[in-house]
């Protein structure tokens, strides 16, 4: 990775792209610490550091939520809108047709995603305002609250729109996927805080801290290995004569990644499982004696609890299968192979080929889902054993490693294009 960055820095065009990406990240980080007016940041900081729901959101927003900053919601509205549009492309025929119309269709879907992002930003910003108001985290009261609501919701919505625009600028003029880079930068910014927690607990839990560091390094190596792992289905193309030339007759393969769904199942599962914690954060404080049944039930979804870990494990597996199903169509893959004169050795074309691909996908998806589940719940187990709260670390590590690998591959592909001499030489 370091060698790739070193070689990319020597190319002037790539160096400019890297500098532009760093500049956008700097703007993003500045906006993540500029507080919105009428918010009591001191009180808000104390609450977010002890609330599981806001701890989770704070990971995705790079700490902007803790400061009540302009970029408090960060990339979460855009990620949610992208997931919604992607799922609707399967359910709504009109959107499905747009997704198959090439570049023009993708532009229209991108526009729809932007509008959906703004709508979600308004909804989330309004909900966040009511949380601030009900928790007495505003610096105004009485009639001034209405004007404060307008300013706060508008600032949050504008901040989300600006983050979305910054991500698109990285896509056009920078390196890598813009939204992923900003998400990576937000998570990485919490590194010093996590380091302080480890240092603080080193004296009382030295063995546990050393174990966490070793496990952290092992998990990163394991994630890199599993991310690059793939199952190759061999394919043979029949020879065919067109005019005076012969085409085909080559052997190739269909690569199927073990972790083909990436970190999306974890994001889906954690988002749903955070709803009970979110509801509890809006509920009033109860004592042990007057706690209603529904509060006791929702309390089971604590991110450090066994019940949460088991449900989390099962939901990640379910969403991994769901995400793979909407991404890959074995019947379509089998038809494309037959149209191009390709076949899997020992498997007849048509339905037998699609059944064989479905079988392979099912096995590979299970392996990838188990990998994601283990990585996601491992920090919960380590946190309970070592009595240190690192329950949300698995998601962060997966996102960071995945984005880093994708960015390096992007750099390598761009360097390869610039060093390819072509046929004229």
117-138 pLDDT tens trace: 999 899 888 888 887 887 778 8
CA angle 100, 183, 416 (to 5 degrees): 65
**CATH fold of 193-391, please?**
Preprotein translocase SecY subunit (1.10.3370)
pLDDT band at 52 (very low <50, low <70, confident <90, very high): low
User: What average pLDDT does this structure show over 344-354?
Assistant: 84
pLDDT at residue 423, as a whole number: 41
CA–centroid distance for 310 within its chain: 21
- Asked if residues 259 and 369 have their Cβ atoms less than 8 Å apart, the reply is no
Band of residue 312 on the pLDDT scale cut at 50, 70, 90: confident
Identify the residue with better confidence: 60 or 150. 150
Domain with CATH 1.10.3370.10 in the chain: 1-189, 193-391
Strand order in the sheet with 230-237: 251-257, 230-237, 342-343
Location of structure tokens 């009033």: 284
Mean pLDDT calculated for residue range 317-340:
82
In angstroms, the CA 388 to CA 382 distance is 8
pLDDT at position 422 is 47
pTM (predicted TM-score): 0.77
Tell me the three state secondary structure of residue 318.
Answer: helix
Confidence grade of residue 155 (pLDDT, cut at 50, 70, 90): very high
* Cβ burial 245-280 (10 Å sphere, 16+ → b, else e): eeeeeeeeebebebbbbbbbbbbbbbbebbebbbeb
pLDDT tens per residue across span 21-50: 999 999 998 988 888 888 888 777 765 555
Tens digit of each residue's pLDDT (9 = 90 or more) over 229-266:
888 888 887 766 666 666 556 778 888 888 877 777 87
| Average pLDDT in the chain | 79
The single residue listed with the structure tokens 């169509």 is: 329
According to the model, what pLDDT value does residue 125 have?
86
Overall CATH class of domain 1-189: mainly alpha
Q: Pick 228 or 150 by higher pLDDT.
A: 150
């Amino acid at each position: 990775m370091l060698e790739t960055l070193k070689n990319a820095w020597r190319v002037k065009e790539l160096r400019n792209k890297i500098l532009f990406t760093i500049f956008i990240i700097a703007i993003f980080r500045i906006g993540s610490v500029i507080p919105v007016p009428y918010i009591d940041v001191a009180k808000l900081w104390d609450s977010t550091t002890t609330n599981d729901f806001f701890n989770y959101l704070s990971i995705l927003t790079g700490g902007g939520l803790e400061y009540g900053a302009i970029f408090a919601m960060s990339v979460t509205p855009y990620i949610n809108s992208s997931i919604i549009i992607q799922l609707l492309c399967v359910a709504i025929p009109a959107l499905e047709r747009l997704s198959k119309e090439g570049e023009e269709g993708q532009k229209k879907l991108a526009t729809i995603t932007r509008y959906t992002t703004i709508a979600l930003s308004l909804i989330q910003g309004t909900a966040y305002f009511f949380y601030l108001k009900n928790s007495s985290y505003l610096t105004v009261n009485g009639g001034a609250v209405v004007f404060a609501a307008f300013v706060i919701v508008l600032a949050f919505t504008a901040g989300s729109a600006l983050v979305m625009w910054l991500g698109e600028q990285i896509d056009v003029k920078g390196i890598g996927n813009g939204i992923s880079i900003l998400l990576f930068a937000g998570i990485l910014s919490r590194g010093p805080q996590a380091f302080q927690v480890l240092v603080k607990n080193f004296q009382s839990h030295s063995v546990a801290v050393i174990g966490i560091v070793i496990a952290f390094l092992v998990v990163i190596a394991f994630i890199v290995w599993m991310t690059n792992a793939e199952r190759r289905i061999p394919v043979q193309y029949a020879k065919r004569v067109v005019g005076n030339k012969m085409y085909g007759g080559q052997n190739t393969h269909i690569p199927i990644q073990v972790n083909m769904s990436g970190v999306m199942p974890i994001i889906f599962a954690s988002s749903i499982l955070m709803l009970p914690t979110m509801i509890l954060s809006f509920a009033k404080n109860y004592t042990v004696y007057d706690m209603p049944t529904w509060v006791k039930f929702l309390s089971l979804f604590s991110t450090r609890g066994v019940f949460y870990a088991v449900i989390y494990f099962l939901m990640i597996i379910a969403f991994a299968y769901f995400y793979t199903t909407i991404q890959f169509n074995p019947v379509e893959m089998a038809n494309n192979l037959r149209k191009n004169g390709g076949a899997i050795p020992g498997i007849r074309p048509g339905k037998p080929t699609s059944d064989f691909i479905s079988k392979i996908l099912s096995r590979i998806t299970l392996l990838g889902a188990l990998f994601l589940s283990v990585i996601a719940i491992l920090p919960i187990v380590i946190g309970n054993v070592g009595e240190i709260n690192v329950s949300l670390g698995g998601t962060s590590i997966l996102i960071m490693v995945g984005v880093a690998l994708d960015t390096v591959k992007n750099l390598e592909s761009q360097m390869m294009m610039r060093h390819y001499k072509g046929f004229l030489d």
